[in-house]
């Protein structure tokens, strides 16, 4: 059975998609960008501040669905510039210090709203 996950502790979807969908014990979290859920504005600062906000948004969605960061099995990180890879990793590592999930990271031409990073996540129980 499919369950739609929605929380006001993460940014509302800015298009026709859900924050996350759970099916058969697997949670698919839509790509999160560094929007402050209270203001729906991009957080100030560079790649580290933006990555921090993205991971906080992911955490709020995981919590709403009854999951934790330790349930994350796969992440896909999209970067506006691969030169930001190391700085993004420094923040990312704080959230996945043990048993890090599988991951892919790509530099892409553009991201929504001109942000520096977007991360999508899959978690499983």
Work out the average pLDDT over 90-113. Answer: 95
* Cα gap 69→62, rounded to integer Å: 7
Work out the average pLDDT over 64-72. Answer: 98
Q: Please report which residue ranges of 2-121 form alpha helices under DSSP H.
A: 47-65, 85-95
Q: What is the CATH number of domain 2-124?
A: 3.30.1330.40
| Angle, helix 85-95 to helix 47-65, in steps of 10 degrees | 30
* Cα gap 37→35, rounded to integer Å: 6
- pLDDT bracket for residue 15 (50, 70, 90): confident
Q: Can you tell me which residue has the tokens 């995981």?
A: 62
Q: Where are the domains of the chain?
A: 2-124
Count CB-CB contacts under 10 A for residue 19: 22
Q: What is the pTM of this model?
A: 0.96
* Cα gap 58→50, rounded to integer Å: 12
pLDDT reported for residue 13: 87
């Amino acid at each position: 059975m499919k369950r739609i996950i929605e929380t006001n502790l993460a940014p509302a979807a800015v298009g026709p998609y859900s924050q996350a969908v759970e099916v058969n014990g697997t949670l698919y979290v839509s790509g999160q960008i560094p929007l402050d859920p209270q203001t729906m504005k991009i957080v100030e600062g560079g790649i580290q501040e933006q990555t921090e906000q993205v991971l906080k948004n992911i955490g709020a969605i995981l919590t709403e669905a009854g999951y934790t960061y330790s349930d994350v099995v796969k992440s896909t990180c999209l970067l506006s510039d691969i030169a930001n890879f190391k700085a993004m990793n420094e923040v990312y590592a704080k959230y996945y210090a043990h048993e890090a999930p599988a991951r892919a990271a790509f530099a892409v031409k553009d991201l929504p709203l001109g942000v520096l990073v977007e991360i999508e996540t899959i978690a499983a129980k």
